[in-house]
């Protein structure tokens, strides 16, 4: 029996003891984070699947893992040899786990899920589906604690202050902005769970979550007070005094629920149902009046100020210079001469090591913004592929190497994907590369009315790819934080997203532009730049925005089929490369400078 099957069997035993007929294990923590501290990586511990998003459902005679198309190939490989069935979320004929449970279970049966990690919106959808079938929902039990004997504890990394010049807005001003939004919505108190909102609001950073400079915390904001709930010892006396001077009290992380349950009945509470768990929700006194609306900080932090964008531009220059050094090393190392590193020693793991080292030499660098994706040929066809010591490719022969990487800097967060030629790419690879480039350029050149729902922009990038008879399964773009989470809302460029009132594009938002084409078992192409919404023009017909490209790194022209490019697309590429060359040249020298000049030559 596999380790996964053994652990699922232990879960079933715990379910029987508690009279549960099914159990749901989501990829979530009490703050609904994307990247989870070890304590809440129960879905991975149970199933063996290491992707960042999935939902495990276990019944008495079935175990299934619901995974979206980004992870199908990875999940298929990691679930092989186990009894856990891959459920391809989004595929024709595959219901979501909520609908599946509603159809499979009978009246009187019980479903268990840890309410402390189940989002309130997810809880409501689950309840609405199960209640008509007479199925009961138990959110009081954390089954993982019963079977996971060596479960990690809470992270205890210290919290530090994000200071000027990179912190461009004071916490006092941010609190004033949030309170103004509270007043506009008729709320006296606001409760925050999401870690990036809290880190942004208080100008604090931490290291409790891999790749994201955030820390475990809750916050309660009143008209004339603010309380930050964090682990004991995570804030030293000096920082505590700094916060106190701004009217911020520090309390224990474990006291948040008690504070929430102690609110007076004459206070109206603002919560965001999409960013709070049902466990937190049920800790509230139901008699306290509530306003349910998006966290004001979610909207505020998405629109970067001019000063923050200036910091991001400088950060992009440093990040681009690091990439020049990396790619210069890579091409030399892959050449026949090989330099200090023989070509046969270069693997996908080497890429991660070298690109991280290049960034670490740059001022203001803190850590990677996500785990580097380096996929050669067939591995590049898996959008969220991760090389491991046990399974990785040697980079040799001919083909395409896809590298998706990023860094956290004091002055911004970077995320970039480049595909580079190894040896000689074939004609079909060049066609795919050029179609993706055309899609990326099309979105880069777009202009649109202010407030346009971001999902509507998705088709602009897809149109050239569709015309080539191809498509891709992931969204075209996600919001990016300011020395915060590499994935940030509320904007998202994806036709699968629902255009809501808070997805409108506003000046200052930073979003990725990353179309792709993936040929399973052969190769993948994705080209990604970060872009910022900027004002373009105002007329009697409204205010219009355009994109400013922030990312600075050459695009490999060796992979292009020029015959497929229009004149204006070639002009865009040549202008982009000129900008890259001018802005990065002062920051590199020697081999890296020569590489930059070569790879930004006009076509």
Q: Within 10 Å of residue 339's Cβ, how many Cβ atoms?
A: 13
CA distance 114 to 279: 8
Backbone dihedral region for residue 541 (phi beyond 0: left; psi -120 to 50: alpha; all else: beta)? alpha
CA distance 423 to 401: 10
Q: Within 10 Å of residue 163's Cβ, how many Cβ atoms?
A: 10
CA distance 150 to 161: 33
- pLDDT tens figures, 213-255: 999 999 999 999 999 999 999 999 999 999 999 999 999 999 9
- pLDDT tens figures, 345-403: 899 999 999 999 999 999 999 999 999 999 999 999 988 888 888 889 999 999 999 99
- According to the model, what pLDDT value does residue 74 have? 86
520 and 375 Cβ atoms separated by less than 8 Å: no
DSSP label of 451:
T
DSSP label of 420:
E
List the alpha helices (DSSP H) in 67-119. 72-79, 97-104
Q: Extract the tokens encoding 244.
A: 């106190």
Beta-carbon contacts of residue 474 (< 8 Å; ≥ 6 apart): 69, 70, 383, 494, 516
pTM for the full predicted model:
0.92
CA distance 113 to 117: 8
Q: Which residue ranges of the chain lie beneath pLDDT 70? A: 336-344
CA distance 473 to 520: 12
16 and 28 Cβ atoms separated by less than 8 Å: no
- According to the model, what pLDDT value does residue 345 have? 81
Give how far Cα 293 sits from Cα of 49, 154, 190, 414, Å.
34, 29, 10, 29
Helix (H) or strand (E) holding 402: strand 399-405
Phi, psi of 119 (to 5 degrees): -60, 145
- According to the model, what pLDDT value does residue 19 have? 94
166 and 364 Cβ atoms separated by less than 8 Å: yes
- According to the model, what pLDDT value does residue 343 have? 46
- Domains of the chain, each with CATH number or no CATH: 3-147 (3.40.350.10), 160-301 (3.40.350.10), 306-599 (3.90.230.10)
- According to the model, what pLDDT value does residue 340 have? 52
Q: Chain centroid to CA 40: how far? A: 17
Residues belonging to the chain: 603
CA distance 528 to 297: 27
Beta-carbon contacts of residue 504 (< 8 Å; ≥ 6 apart): 450, 451, 452, 453, 454, 491
Strand order from edge to edge, sheet including 189-192? 248-252, 226-230, 218-222, 189-192, 269-271, 290-292
What three-state secondary structure class fits 304?
coil
CA distance 17 to 89: 31
- pLDDT tens figures, 509-560: 999 999 999 999 999 999 999 999 999 999 889 999 999 999 999 999 999 9
- According to the model, what pLDDT value does residue 240 have? 97
529 and 440 Cβ atoms separated by less than 8 Å: yes
């Amino acid at each position: 029996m596999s380790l996964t099957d053994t652990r699922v069997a232990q879960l079933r035993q715990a379910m029987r003891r508690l009279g549960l007929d099914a159990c749901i294990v989501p990829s979530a923590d009490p703050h609904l984070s994307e990247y989870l501290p070890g304590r809440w990586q129960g879905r991975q511990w149970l199933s063996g699947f290491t992707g960042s998003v999935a939902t495990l459902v276990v019944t008495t005679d079935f175990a299934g893992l619901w995974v979206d198309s980004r992870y199908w190939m990875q999940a298929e490989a990691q679930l092989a040899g186990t009894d856990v069935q891959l459920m391809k979320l989004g595929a024709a004929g595959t219901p979501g786990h909520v609908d599946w449970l509603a159809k499979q279970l009978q009246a009187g049966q019980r479903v268990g899920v840890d309410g402390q990690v189940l989002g309130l919106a997810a809880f409501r959808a689950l309840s609405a589906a199960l209640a008509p079938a007479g199925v009961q929902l138990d959110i009081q039990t954390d089954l993982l604690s019963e079977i996971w004997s060596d479960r990690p504890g809470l992270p205890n990394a210290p919290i530090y202050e994000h200071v000027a010049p990179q912190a461009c807005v004071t916490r006092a001003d941010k609190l004033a902005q949030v309170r103004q939004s509270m007043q506009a919505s008729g709320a006296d108190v606001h409760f925050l769970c999401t870690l990036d909102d809290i880190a942004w609001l208080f100008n604090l950073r931490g290291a409790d979550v891999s790749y994201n400079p955030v820390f475990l915390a809750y916050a309660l904001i009143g008209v004339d007070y603010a309380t930050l709930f964090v682990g004991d010892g995570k804030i030293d006396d000096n920082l505590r005094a700094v916060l106190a001077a701004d009217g911020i009290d520090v309390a224990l992380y474990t006291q948040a629920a008690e504070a929430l349950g102690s609110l007076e009945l004459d206070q109206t509470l603002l919560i965001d149902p999409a960013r709070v768990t049902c466990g937190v929700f049920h800790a509230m006194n139901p008699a306290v009046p509530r306003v349910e609306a998006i966290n004001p900080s979610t909207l505020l932090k998405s629109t970067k100020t001019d000063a923050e964008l200036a910091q991001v531009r400088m950060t992009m220059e440093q990040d681009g210079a690091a990439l020049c050094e990396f790619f210069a090393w890579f091409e030399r190392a892959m050449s026949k001469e090989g330099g200090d590193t023989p070509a046969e020693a270069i693997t996908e793991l080497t890429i991660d090591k070298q690109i991280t080292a290049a960034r670490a030499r740059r001022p203001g660098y803190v850590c990677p913004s996500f785990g580097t994706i380096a996929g050669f040929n067939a591995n590049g066809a898996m959008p969220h592929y991760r090389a491991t010591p046990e399974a990785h490719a040697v980079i040799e022969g001919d083909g395409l190497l896809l590298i998706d990487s990023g860094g956290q800097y004091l002055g911004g967060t970077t995320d970039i994907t480049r595909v580079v030629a190894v040896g000689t790419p074939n004609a079909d690879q060049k066609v795919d590369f050029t179609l993706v480039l055309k899609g990326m350029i099309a979105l880069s050149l777009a202009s649109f009315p202010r407030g346009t729902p971001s999902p509507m922009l998705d088709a602009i990038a897809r149109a050239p790819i569709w015309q080539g008879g191809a498509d891709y399964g992931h969204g075209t773009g996600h919001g990016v934080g300011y020395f915060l989470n590499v994935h940030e809302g509320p904007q998202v460029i994806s036709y699968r997203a629902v255009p809501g009132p808070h997805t409108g594009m506003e000046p200052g938002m930073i979003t990725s532009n990353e179309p792709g084409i993936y040929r399973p078992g052969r190769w993948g192409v994705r080209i990604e730049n970060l872009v910022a919404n900027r004002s373009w023009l105002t007329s009697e017909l409204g205010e219009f925005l355009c994109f400013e490209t922030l990312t600075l790194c050459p695009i490999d022209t060796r992979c292009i089929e020029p015959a497929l490019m229009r004149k204006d697309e070639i002009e865009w590429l040549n202008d982009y490369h000129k900008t890259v060359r001018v802005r990065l040249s002062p920051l590199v020298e020697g081999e890296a400078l020569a590489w930059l000049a070569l790879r930004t030559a006009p076509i």
